[in-house]
Amino acid sequence: MEDESPPSQGVSAKYQVLEATLLSALKMLDVGKWPIFSLCSQEELKLIRQACVFGSAGNEVLYATENHEVFVLGVNCSGCLGTGDMQSTIEPRRLDSLCGKKIACLSYGSGPHVVLATEEGEVYTWGHNAYSQLGNGTTNHGFVPCQVSTNLVNKKVVEVACGSHHSMVLTSDGEVYTWGYNNSGQVGSGSTANQPIPRRVTSCLQNKIVVNIACGQMCSMAVVENGEVYVWGYNGNGQLGLGSSGNQPTPCRIAALQGIRVQRVACGYAHTLVLTDEGQIYAWGANSYGQLGTGNKSNQSYPTTVIVDKDRVIEIAACHSAHTSAAKTQSGQVYMWGQCRGQSVILPHLTHFACTDDVFACFATPAVMWRLLSVEPDDHLTVAQSLKKEFDNPETADLKFLVDGKYIHVHKVLLKIRCEHFRSILNNDDEIIEMSEFSYPVYRAFLEYLYTDNIRLPPEDAIGLLDLATLYRENRLKKLCQQTIKQGICEENAIALLSAAVKYEAQDLEEFCFRFCINHLTVVTQTQGFAEMDHDLLKNFISKASRVGAFRN
């Protein structure tokens, strides 16, 4: 027999344990909306804690598990999976060189090439490299992840961003480094020569502390700590927000945002979004799909206010692979605008999604991720997930049921809330209740149902649970039991299940079992269950079977 918790612990201490448990819990990452994950088994999906779908058609993916193992699968264009070859794979392949390294952020280009930073601030690149976008001083494709160290020694990288063929990183001390393709000045060096290794972006940023970076296809953006936005690179669609269409080879401040404190910047293929500290969105650049959310399809070279909702916006989303925009409000509503599966949405449209990531999974072309999708260690569980987790937890429970010599740990208040039967019988002084009317599997399944709204029992045991549900007047539970029994019916147990349905007055189940017996009459009548059938039930069965013509030649 298990020991009781010491009286000094008290209820409050138990709930502190519960709270700590919830705060440290990890939930499963929902990646099912991206088609490429259909190649993974359910067991593999349950282990994923970080993922990024990328590539010209969303045909490549990198993901990390709860043990910080890194896997890739997909087409492997330009060796962008980092497996050492260019072979496509539908089976996840492990990247040994990255396993054990906690991934902080990741971005990708159009080649594609990949830039990844670890939580320790190291940078790794691989994939397409025709324009030196890997930062290793060559133009040879990188088939395995290699650390980028030139000019980044003793620097901790905290954010990465990729354009089509150029790369940019932000260090913990607010410095920006770029490399790669530079035909339009997107590396910010003042020339249009490609840059084979990382070099710090200076000019107007020389004495500024940068807090956020982003890349369009051929442009670059940086937000500094006072809320100013600096831009450089290609500007043919007005995506720099400078009021012109001329390219900018070095960083230039957006004067039109004077007096506005920007917190975040996000870039689409050729449009830009910024989020202010007051929760407002400004947009500019290309607008052929309505991706600026202004109600028309006219390009804008100046920042224009986007009216999303009366509520404060807390997140903006865009990626240089698509012409789609998304935003999330403080109340949790998610809006999208721009390209939507080939259609144009010219004003912010309220979706049924809970996160901006789903917008890109379901609406964007291609279906890629706009960021590394991660489950944060301090994510709160939902109420339903919390209750499910605490079933039969001796650390937080204040009541035990003793059934067949085994304990089941539960919480009085939850039982009273969920079940009228317990509301009437439970007392505050109860600590242990012995139960002999039902078996351990049946009673455990019932108590677990109160925590989860689901039952986990084989059909034969579900008969006992049906008995309990009838006794306790739990009508929904009766329906679930009947569904379980229906799903598990076979010739051998059909008569037993029919008998149970009659006994517990489950008319729908009785009719189902009867029809099954009639459809498999020859086999059913040869079973042991039929031979031991109750006389009255047998008499009624034969009579009813006769009425439906079961015995006609």
479 inside domain? yes
Chain-centre distance for alpha carbon 240: 32
Per-residue pLDDT of the chain in tens (553 residues, 90 and over written 9): 334 333 334 434 444 444 443 333 345 688 888 999 999 888 889 899 999 999 988 999 999 998 999 999 999 999 999 999 999 999 999 999 999 999 999 999 999 999 999 999 999 999 999 999 999 999 999 999 999 999 999 999 999 999 999 999 999 999 999 999 999 999 999 999 999 999 999 999 999 999 999 999 999 999 999 999 999 999 999 999 999 999 999 999 999 999 999 999 999 999 999 999 999 999 999 999 999 999 999 999 999 999 998 889 999 999 999 999 999 998 899 999 999 988 999 999 999 999 999 999 999 999 999 999 997 654 567 888 889 989 999 999 999 999 999 999 999 999 999 999 999 999 888 899 999 999 999 999 999 999 999 998 887 788 889 989 989 999 999 989 988 888 788 899 999 889 988 888 888 889 989 999 999 999 999 999 999 998 999 999 999 999 988 877 5
Return the CATH number at 529. 3.30.710.10
524 inside domain? yes
Give the pLDDT confidence score for residue 11 in this predicted structure.
Answer: 39
225 inside domain? no
pTM score: 0.67
Give the pLDDT confidence score for residue 376 in this predicted structure.
Answer: 62
Which tokens belong to 19? Answer: 């709270």
Give the pLDDT confidence score for residue 353 in this predicted structure.
Answer: 93
Give the total number of structural domains in the chain.
1
The dihedral region occupied by 261, where left means phi > 0, alpha psi between -120 and 50, and beta the remainder, is beta
148 inside domain? no
CB 352 within 8 A of CB 358: no
467 inside domain? yes
β-strands 195-200, 210-215 pairing? unpaired
DSSP, collapsed to helix, strand or coil, labels residue 157 as: strand
User: DSSP state, 37?
Assistant: G
Q: Identify the residue whose tokens are 């947009």.
A: 283
111 inside domain? no
Q: Which domain holds residue 481?
A: 383-547
338 inside domain? no
20 inside domain? no
Q: Which of 248, 178, 171, 249 is nearest to 210 (CA)?
A: 171
Which amino acid, one-letter code, is at 353?
A: F
